[in-house]
Amino acid sequence: MEIQHIDDGKKGQFKAVEEGKEAGIMTYVWAGPDKIIIDHTVGNPEFKGVGMKLLDKAVAFARDKSLKIIPLCPFAKKMFDRMPELHDVLSQ
Protein backbone atom coordinates (compact mmCIF):
# COMPACT_ATOMS: atom_id res chain seq x y z
CA MET A 1 0.00 0.00 0.00
CA GLU A 2 1.33 3.40 -0.98
CA ILE A 3 0.55 6.42 1.17
CA GLN A 4 0.79 9.75 -0.63
CA HIS A 5 1.23 13.02 1.23
CA ILE A 6 -0.05 16.27 -0.23
CA ASP A 7 0.35 19.62 1.56
CA ASP A 8 -0.32 23.13 0.23
CA GLY A 9 0.86 25.00 3.33
CA LYS A 10 -2.68 25.52 4.67
CA LYS A 11 -4.05 22.00 4.63
CA GLY A 12 -2.98 18.55 3.64
CA GLN A 13 -3.86 14.93 3.36
CA PHE A 14 -2.48 11.44 3.52
CA LYS A 15 -4.04 9.19 0.90
CA ALA A 16 -3.65 5.41 0.88
CA VAL A 17 -3.74 3.77 -2.54
CA GLU A 18 -3.43 0.10 -3.40
CA GLU A 19 -3.51 -1.27 -6.93
CA GLY A 20 -5.08 1.94 -8.20
CA LYS A 21 -7.89 1.93 -5.62
CA GLU A 22 -8.24 4.55 -2.91
CA ALA A 23 -8.01 2.69 0.39
CA GLY A 24 -8.43 5.70 2.68
CA ILE A 25 -7.73 9.34 3.34
CA MET A 26 -6.80 11.42 6.39
CA THR A 27 -7.04 15.21 6.13
CA TYR A 28 -5.55 17.94 8.28
CA VAL A 29 -5.30 21.71 8.50
CA TRP A 30 -2.39 23.75 9.81
CA ALA A 31 -2.96 25.46 13.17
CA GLY A 32 0.08 27.71 13.14
CA PRO A 33 3.65 26.90 12.15
CA ASP A 34 4.08 23.93 14.48
CA LYS A 35 0.67 22.22 14.78
CA ILE A 36 -1.70 20.31 12.57
CA ILE A 37 -5.32 19.40 13.26
CA ILE A 38 -6.38 15.98 11.99
CA ASP A 39 -9.98 16.70 11.08
CA HIS A 40 -11.21 13.73 9.03
CA THR A 41 -10.40 10.09 8.35
CA VAL A 42 -12.21 7.79 5.94
CA GLY A 43 -11.28 4.20 5.24
CA ASN A 44 -12.53 1.96 2.47
CA PRO A 45 -14.00 -1.11 4.24
CA GLU A 46 -12.26 -3.35 1.68
CA PHE A 47 -8.92 -2.45 3.29
CA LYS A 48 -8.52 -3.47 6.93
CA GLY A 49 -6.26 -1.34 9.12
CA VAL A 50 -5.90 1.52 6.66
CA GLY A 51 -6.84 4.16 9.25
CA MET A 52 -3.95 3.12 11.48
CA LYS A 53 -1.54 3.15 8.53
CA LEU A 54 -2.63 6.70 7.73
CA LEU A 55 -2.23 7.76 11.36
CA ASP A 56 1.23 6.18 11.49
CA LYS A 57 2.23 8.27 8.48
CA ALA A 58 0.81 11.45 10.06
CA VAL A 59 2.67 10.77 13.30
CA ALA A 60 5.92 10.08 11.42
CA PHE A 61 5.45 13.38 9.55
CA ALA A 62 4.86 15.23 12.83
CA ARG A 63 7.95 13.69 14.43
CA ASP A 64 10.10 14.43 11.41
CA LYS A 65 9.01 18.09 11.31
CA SER A 66 8.81 18.61 15.12
CA LEU A 67 5.07 19.23 14.93
CA LYS A 68 2.26 18.62 17.40
CA ILE A 69 -1.07 17.06 16.45
CA ILE A 70 -4.55 18.09 17.59
CA PRO A 71 -6.73 15.02 16.88
CA LEU A 72 -10.26 16.35 16.30
CA CYS A 73 -11.36 13.51 14.03
CA PRO A 74 -13.09 10.82 16.15
CA PHE A 75 -10.85 8.04 14.82
CA ALA A 76 -7.59 9.91 15.48
CA LYS A 77 -8.82 11.01 18.93
CA LYS A 78 -9.70 7.44 19.85
CA MET A 79 -6.28 6.18 18.75
CA PHE A 80 -4.43 8.91 20.68
CA ASP A 81 -6.52 8.07 23.76
CA ARG A 82 -5.65 4.37 23.45
CA MET A 83 -1.98 4.68 22.52
CA PRO A 84 0.28 6.55 24.95
CA GLU A 85 3.23 5.93 22.62
CA LEU A 86 1.78 8.65 20.37
CA HIS A 87 1.64 11.30 23.08
CA ASP A 88 5.04 12.78 22.15
CA VAL A 89 3.28 14.49 19.21
CA LEU A 90 -0.02 15.20 21.00
CA SER A 91 -0.73 18.90 21.45
CA GLN A 92 -1.63 19.81 25.04
Question: What does the pLDDT look like over 6-50, one tens digit per residue?
Answer: 999 999 999 999 999 999 999 999 999 999 999 999 999 999 999
Residue 46 covered by a domain: yes
Give the number of other CB atoms < 10 A from CB of residue 29.
15
Q: Render pLDDT for 72-91 as a digit per residue (tens, 0 to 9).
A: 999 999 999 999 999 999 99
Residue 92 covered by a domain: no
Question: In the chain, how many domains are there?
Answer: 1
Residue 91 covered by a domain: no
pLDDT for the residue numbered 92: 82
Residue 7 covered by a domain: yes
Q: Render pLDDT for 41-83 as a digit per residue (tens, 0 to 9).
A: 999 999 999 999 999 999 999 999 999 999 999 999 999 999 9
Distance between CA atoms of 64 and 36, rounded to whole angstroms?
13
Residue 90 covered by a domain: no
Residue 20 covered by a domain: yes
CATH number, domain containing residue 56: 3.40.630.30
Containing structural domain, residue 67: 2-85
